[in-house]
Amino acid sequence: MAIVQTKNLSKVYNPDTVPVHALRDVSISIEKGEFTSIVGPSGSGKTTLLNMLGGLDKPSSGSVWVNGKEITSMKESDLIDFRLYNIGFVFQHYNLIPVFTAHENVSFIMLLQNRSKKEIKERADELLEEVGLGDRKNARPVEMSGGQQQRVAVARALASEPKFILADEPTANLDSTSAMNLLDIMSRMNREQNVTFVFSTHDQRVIDRARRVITMVDGAIHKDEYQNVEETKTG
Amino acid sequence: MKIIAAIAWRNIWRNPARSGVLIAAIVAGLWAGISVSSLSNGLIVQRFNNLIEQDLTHLQIHHPHYLAEREPWMVVLNADSIFLFLENDERVRSFAGRVLSDGIIQSPVTSTGVQINGIDIQREPLTTNFHLNLSEGEYLDSNLPNPVIIGERLAQKLQMEIGNRVVLMFQDTGNDLASAAFQIAGLFNTSSRVYDERNVFVRAEHLNDLISADAIVHEIAVILHDAADADSLTAQINHTFDEVKAETWYELSPELRYMSDFGNSVTFYVMVVIMVALAFGILNTMLMAIFERMRELGMMIAIGMSKARVFMLIMLESVMLTLTAAVGGMLLAWLSVRYMQRNGVDLTVFGGDSLLEFGFDPLIFPFILAADYAAVTLLVICTAILASIYPSIKALRLNPGDVIRE
């Protein structure tokens, strides 16, 4: 069964004035364990599609199914709850809570899930170790580099044990070394823990590491192809 | 909830300058509001206590028409039965019978109209604290023949001193004019210039002998353990004794009640002005905080924080910020009021002693109840909650997909 699936998904902004067709009849299916990049020029609908997959936006028509559940018809409050347990997010601008330490940022989502203190502490420690920030857990975002902040964001996304992780341009604000380091971490998680990742990206380094590349043009899927990836390790 | 409170608390200190300015404004506002209110209360409570405890008491009993017509023959009938009734009532702290007459005081220099108060020198000091106003000389228990005590200002007007004789002229119960010489035993000084110039005090039995051959009482003043019992006791006396009329302090002196109500409304309006200013301050600060943190709030909603929790976060932030300031403001106000309570605030520097003309003591001792601090705290919390509703709704309307992308 597909982890996430869209059926004839369309999104039109300003339908009554100057209609902008952000998505046109998009149907895709992503299986568990995939490492998928959604690529395309600016305005091609990558972020809109990602928002639809994450339940952050409602389509004009069509539907989105996550783990066999249709999320497009869900009430907003149910959808927020659904996201908490099923979808992980990594944002281009990291979007950590600035008043929290790395450890607290990772713990935050588990606190929202009402997990036990012990479990939260252990999992946050473990995830920060996995992303190579075991020694920076008491640092606040302002005390960390962009790469480190994005690694905390990955740990946070993983903390809720989601069905899949959506990453919107995760390397766009990172230098080359930090970007490759982040990609190493994510592909290792994908390989070793079978975590499903879906990226929107312009970054050729990300595209090169993806096993599936969906190319969008003018809101429609232009190409959907699988590629052989040679695992490399940097940084 | 704990995590929401932790974020809210830390968010307050993200922009220390902005939060600091709001906190300083609230501290200053509350300090000023409480100080002004306590001064206003002090002014009124002092005036209230002066009137009640020096002269008026909690209730008085007269002939039903005495206060309107003030005829000497309008005496309290069955005074002894009433005294017995009052002696046996647990609500009564003390009472005293008074013989009264409107008359003229005459010195070799001038004469002026006064109220002559014949007081029971045993019971009156137990009922009122008027005797504490004696500034010079002796009280009415003096060995002088026919002693009288008069106000210092009246003495100046009459150009009399202690030991001098004055003549009191008045009407007796048969409507004949009577007069007698009295010797000034002492001088008094209250906080009311008018009162001091319009009242003289003699022994009740002396005045009684001059007015009537019978033992008479024109007024019974009653002081209670608890002023709140005035209504019930007054009603009971009026029900039990048909031939007299008992009235509470606020029926006898409606302006005193008006003044008391006015004091409460001053406090209310001062606090309303402060709370409105406070509400705008909170609204401004919280709106700015939300506009600055759109993306962060959007992220929280995106990853699964319910909108109820976001709403709670903004509310808690406002309440915590305001309460922090309120604690500071009230602490400062408490210290200031405490200092002023010990030393008093001398208003003569602002207007001479003109307050005396209106019966107010120019040396004010602020007064505020602990309950008032609790009420202010509650008011501040309510204001903070009300002022943060709009910013909270604004936060709820965020579309995480839009704000994260911006």
Asked whether B46 and B361 are in contact (CB, 8 A), the reply is yes
Tokens linked to B292: 């600055």
Query: Within an 8 Å CB–CB cutoff, is residue A217 touching chain B?
Result: no
pLDDT score at B269: 83
pLDDT score at B372: 81
- State how far Cα B399 lies from the chain centre: 55
E strand or H helix that includes residue B275: helix B254-292
The share of chain B scoring above pLDDT 90, in percent, equals 50
**Of A81, A97, A99, which has the smallest distance from its Cβ to B306's Cβ?**
A81
Please determine, for residue B187, whether its predicted confidence score (pLDDT) is greater than 60: yes
pLDDT in tens, A113-161: 999 999 999 999 999 998 889 999 999 999 999 989 999 999 999 998 8
pLDDT score at A231: 57
Please determine, for residue B278, whether its predicted confidence score (pLDDT) is greater than 60: yes
Query: Within an 8 Å CB–CB cutoff, is residue A91 touching chain B?
Result: yes
CB pair distance less than 8 Å for B307 and A100: no
Please determine, for residue A228, whether its predicted confidence score (pLDDT) is greater than 90: no
| Residues contacting B123, CB < 8 A, separation 6+ | B94, B95, B96, B97
Alpha-carbon distance A70 to nearest alpha carbon in chain B (angstroms): 17
Question: How many cross-chain Cβ pairs, A to B, lie less than 8 Å apart?
Answer: 69
**Of B299, B307, B399, which has the smallest distance from its Cβ to A91's Cβ?**
B299
Please determine, for residue A60, whether its predicted confidence score (pLDDT) is greater than 50: yes
pTM of the model: 0.71
Question: What does residue B77 show for φ and ψ, rounded to 5 degrees?
Answer: -80, 150
Query: Cβ contacts (< 8 Å) between A160 and chain B: which residues?
Result: 303-304
Burial class (CB in 10 A: 0-12, 13-18, 19+), B399: middle
CB pair distance less than 8 Å for A47 and B14: no
- Bridge partners (DSSP) of residue B183 are B147, B165
Query: Within an 8 Å CB–CB cutoff, is residue A173 touching chain B?
Result: no
Query: Within an 8 Å CB–CB cutoff, is residue A84 touching chain B?
Result: yes
pLDDT score at B358: 66
Question: What does residue B274 show for φ and ψ, rounded to 5 degrees?
Answer: -65, -40
Query: Cβ contacts (< 8 Å) between A95 and chain B: which residues?
Result: 295-296, 299, 404
pLDDT score at A50: 92
pLDDT score at B356: 66
| Residues contacting B80, CB < 8 A, separation 6+ | none
Spatial separation of the C-alpha atoms in residues A79 and B304, rounded to whole Å: 8
Query: Cβ contacts (< 8 Å) between B305 and chain A: which residues?
Result: 80, 84, 112
pLDDT score at B289: 84
Q: How many helices (H) and strands (E) does chain A have?
A: 7, 10
Please determine, for residue A234, whether its predicted confidence score (pLDDT) is greater than 60: no
CA dihedral B141, B144, B147, B150 (to 10 degrees): -100
Q: What is the mean pLDDT of residues B155-167?
A: 94
Q: Which DSSP string corresponds to B153-179?
A: HHHHHHT--TT-EEEEEEE-TTS-EEE
CB pair distance less than 8 Å for A112 and B295: no
Tokens linked to B272: 């309303």
Query: Within an 8 Å CB–CB cutoff, is residue B294 touching chain A?
Result: no
Query: Cβ contacts (< 8 Å) between B301 and chain A: which residues?
Result: 80
Interface mutation target, options B1, B12, B296, B303, chain A, most CBs of A under 10 Å: B303
Q: What is the mean pLDDT of residues B200-204?
A: 96
What is each CA distance from B97 to A52, B62, B94, in whole angstroms? 91, 10, 11
Q: Interhelix angle for B16-51 vs B370-396, to 10°? A: 150
Q: Is the dihedral of CA B382, B383, B386, B387 positive or negative?
A: negative
CB pair distance less than 8 Å for B302 and A56: yes
Residues 95-134 of A with CB under 8 A from B: 95, 97-100, 108-109, 111-113
Interface mutation target, options B4, B19, B313, B405, chain A, most CBs of A under 10 Å: B405
From the list B107, B217, B94, B196, the residue with the least C-alpha distance to B153 is B196
pLDDT in tens, B308-321: 899 999 889 888 98
Q: What is the mean pLDDT of residues B266-277?
A: 83
Query: Within an 8 Å CB–CB cutoff, is residue A54 touching chain B?
Result: yes
Asked whether B57 and B223 are in contact (CB, 8 A), the reply is yes
Alpha-carbon distance A234 to nearest alpha carbon in chain B (angstroms): 29
Residues 174-233 of B with CB under 8 A from A: none
Tokens linked to B279: 């509400």
Please determine, for residue A207, whether its predicted confidence score (pLDDT) is greater than 80: yes
CB pair distance less than 8 Å for A54 and B302: yes
pLDDT score at A233: 47
CB pair distance less than 8 Å for A97 and B405: no
Q: What is the ipTM of this complex?
A: 0.89
Task: Give, as one character, the DSSP assignment of residue B76.
Answer: P
Please determine, for residue A198, whether its predicted confidence score (pLDDT) is greater than 60: yes
Q: What is the mean pLDDT of residues A38-56?
A: 91
Spatial separation of the C-alpha atoms in residues B89 and A182, rounded to whole Å: 89
More confident residue, A15 or B202: B202
Residue of B nearest to A57 (CA): B401
Residue of A nearest to B296 (CA): A95
More confident residue, A180 or B401: A180
- How confident is the prediction for chain B on average, in pLDDT? 89
Please tell me the least confidently modeled range out of A193-197, B354-358, B379-383: B354-358
pLDDT in tens, B74-108: 999 999 999 999 999 999 999 999 999 999 999 99
Tokens linked to B358: 């209106």
Spatial separation of the C-alpha atoms in residues B403 and B406, rounded to whole Å: 5
Residues 12-31 of B with CB under 8 A from A: 13-14
Spatial separation of the C-alpha atoms in residues B103 and B179, rounded to whole Å: 9
**Of A80, A95, A100, which has the smallest distance from its Cβ to B299's Cβ?**
A95
CB pair distance less than 8 Å for B299 and A100: no
pLDDT score at B18: 86
Which one of A40-49, A84-93, B2-11, B95-104 scores highest in mean pLDDT? B95-104
Query: Within an 8 Å CB–CB cutoff, is residue B396 touching chain A?
Result: no
**Per-residue buried b or exposed e for B154-189, using 16+ beta carbons within 10 Å of the residue's own CB:** bbebbebebeebbebbbbebeeeebebebebbbbbe
pLDDT in tens, B31-69: 888 888 888 888 888 888 888 988 899 999 999 999 999
Query: Within an 8 Å CB–CB cutoff, is residue A161 touching chain B?
Result: no
**Of B14, B307, B399, which has the smallest distance from its Cβ to A77's Cβ?**
B307
pLDDT score at B402: 76
Spatial separation of the C-alpha atoms in residues A166 and A91, rounded to whole Å: 8
Determine the residue type at B319: V
pLDDT in tens, B124-149: 999 999 999 999 999 999 888 899 99
